[in-house]
Amino acid sequence: MQTLIESLTQILETSALLLGDDISEKYHADWSGASPCVPAALLKPKTTEQLSQIMALCHEHNQPVVVQGGLTGLAGGATPLAGEFAISLERMNAVEEIDTRGMTATVLAGTPLQVLQEAVDEHDLFMPLDLGARGSCNIGGNVATNAGGTEVIRYGMTRSLVLGLEVVLADGTVVKAMNKMVKNNSGYDLKHLFIGSEGTLGIVTRVVVQLQPKLLASHTALCALEDYDSVIKLLTELKRSLGSGLTGFELMWDNYFNKVLEVEADLQNPFADDHNFYLLVEYKDNETALGAERFEAELFGHLEAELLTDAVVAQSHKDAEEFWRIRDGIGELFKVLGPVSNQDVSLPIADIGVFATHLETRLKAKYPDIGVLLFGHIGDNNLHVCAYTGREEDKLLINEDIMLMIGEYSGAITAEHGVGVLKRDFLDQSRTAEEIALMKTIKAAMDPKGILNPGRVI
């Protein structure tokens, strides 16, 4: 390894190649809770050319690497394993171009999502990807994990937004596929090999994303419903009446809603009575007054039809922020709940209610003192499950219980967080043997020495 380190010092300045105690704890683990590990070395390239040279050397020396972005991942994919070099892309941080006529942005992989959002906002454009970790997560990581978030119901996953990529392969080869066109059927669309591959096939260094015009008005409401059937009926009705203006459909079971209000004492319950389900609905358009009237009339109609039990419409930006704070309260809950099995899964929309009831019943029968919190985007099939007993030794058992039950329902073991290390052994619950075999064939072809994020995904 010493020979490799000496070669790397010819590429990177001293502050960008760190060893041993000089490596901050920040780089020992991502947000997943996977066991921290000190990487054998920490490398911080600033350019694609530097990264290419690094990978060529690592390939020559059979040195495994783990790629790190904002370290906000929840599947252990960016947590180093013993003997790995960590490659942080944090210095590859820049919004290189905003094309206002073509409505695209070209951005380096280490750029935080929020930085891109704010940059395009200055041009009255909108980056159609948003998630709670926006201030920390990086664009490269969003692409590598095919991130979802709260706008998927209208704009789709990250995959739907990416037009072009620049990628460094395991042997240092740089693939420039910086397409800026929506339509380009010139051979294989290679970007899709890398989107969602979690850094196992190549390292994303640049991204071209498609932007949208910024909408001028946002209308938000918190609704109460008594059963899951009403939830999916309402989803259908709102899609029909509000069309593409429906950008948020965030469902909270009462167990989650009440726990957030219990922990966040400064948040107020907008409802006088208790309900089984709470739904945050968001509608965006360019008509501040007329849009509000349309939105409120739509909700009032569903109240009269008794599809909704109650509804509170945000009268100000502050009101809307308070509603979203309830939905996003999971971050505060993690601080007080102790060891948590935190799962994001996908199921057919019609099955989510039955699955949730069955899961809670099964877990409480096995762990009498367990707490189960349920919420999710729902309109894009995504359910988040948080289960906890306060005992670390139960966490892995609960993980397995949830993953196996997902297999029973033919769901997806991960909706938006990725497979990483933590869900790798359950991949066969969502993918057939033939699919996994093909994944391994692709991996072997593109990374024959197995040095890129080894042990992740497959």
Q: pLDDT digits over 220-252, tens only?
A: 999 999 999 999 999 999 999 999 999 999 999
C-alpha angle 26/393/335, rounded to 5°? 45
Q: What integer pLDDT is reported at residue 254 of this predicted model?
A: 98
pLDDT class of 421 with cuts at 50, 70, 90:
very high
The answer to whether residue 1 scores a pLDDT higher than 90 is no
**Cβ atoms 256, 360 nearer than 8 A:** no
Q: Which residues contact 41 (CB under 8 A, 6 or more apart)?
A: 5, 8, 17, 18, 19, 23, 85, 86
On average, the pLDDT of the chain sits at 96
Question: Would you say residue 457 lies in a domain?
Answer: no
Q: What integer pLDDT is reported at residue 111 of this predicted model?
A: 98
What tokens does 380 get? 């894009």
Question: Would you say residue 451 lies in a domain?
Answer: no
Question: Would you say residue 350 lies in a domain?
Answer: yes
- Taking alpha carbons only, the member of 103, 96, 110 closest to residue 50 is 110
Of 162, 186, 213, at which residue does a domain stop?
A: 213
Exposure class string for 365-403: b at 16+ Cβ within 10 A, else e: eebeebbbbbbbbbbbbbbbbbbbbeeeebbeebbebbb
Question: Would you say residue 446 lies in a domain?
Answer: no
In a shared domain, residues 53 and 82 = yes
**Cβ atoms 429, 404 nearer than 8 A:** yes
The answer to whether residue 123 scores a pLDDT higher than 90 is yes
Question: Would you say residue 450 lies in a domain?
Answer: no
pLDDT class of 104 with cuts at 50, 70, 90:
very high
| Total residue count of the chain as it appears in this document | 458
CA gap 185, 169 in Å, rounded:
23
Q: How many domains, the chain?
A: 4
- Strand duo 212-213 + 125-126: pairing: antiparallel
3-state secondary structure 256-272: HHHHHHHHCCCCCCCCC
What are the tens digits of pLDDT across the range 354-365? 999 999 999 999
In a shared domain, residues 129 and 187 = yes
- Which pTM does this prediction carry? 0.93
**Cβ atoms 310, 273 nearer than 8 A:** yes
CATH number for the domain spanning 224: value is: 3.30.70.2190
In a shared domain, residues 27 and 68 = yes
CA dihedral 33, 34, 36, 38 (to 10 degrees): -140
What tokens does 391 get? 């005992």
21: left (phi over 0), alpha (psi -120 to 50) or beta: alpha
Cα–Cα distances (Å) from 255 to 265, 276, 303, 344, 359, in that order, read: 16, 8, 23, 17, 14
**Cβ atoms 44, 91 nearer than 8 A:** yes
CATH number for the domain spanning 400: value is: 3.30.70.2740
Q: How many Å separate Cα 231 from the centre of its chain?
A: 24
Question: Would you say residue 455 lies in a domain?
Answer: no
Of 88, 113, 146, at which residue does a domain stop?
A: 88
CA gap 120, 123 in Å, rounded:
5
Question: Would you say residue 169 lies in a domain?
Answer: yes
Of 46, 70, 88, at which residue does a domain stop?
A: 88
Query: What residues make up the domain containing 298?
Result: 217-330
pLDDT class of 47 with cuts at 50, 70, 90:
very high
Indicate the residue type of 314: A
Q: What integer pLDDT is reported at residue 182 of this predicted model?
A: 94
Residue whose structure tokens are 């209000």: 261
Question: Would you say residue 240 lies in a domain?
Answer: yes
Neighbours of 3 (CB within 10 A): 9
User: What's the mean pLDDT in 326-337?
Assistant: 92
What are the tens digits of pLDDT across the range 365-419? 999 999 999 999 989 999 999 999 999 999 999 999 999 999 999 999 999 999 9
- Taking alpha carbons only, the member of 394, 395, 261 closest to residue 332 is 261
The answer to whether residue 33 scores a pLDDT higher than 90 is no
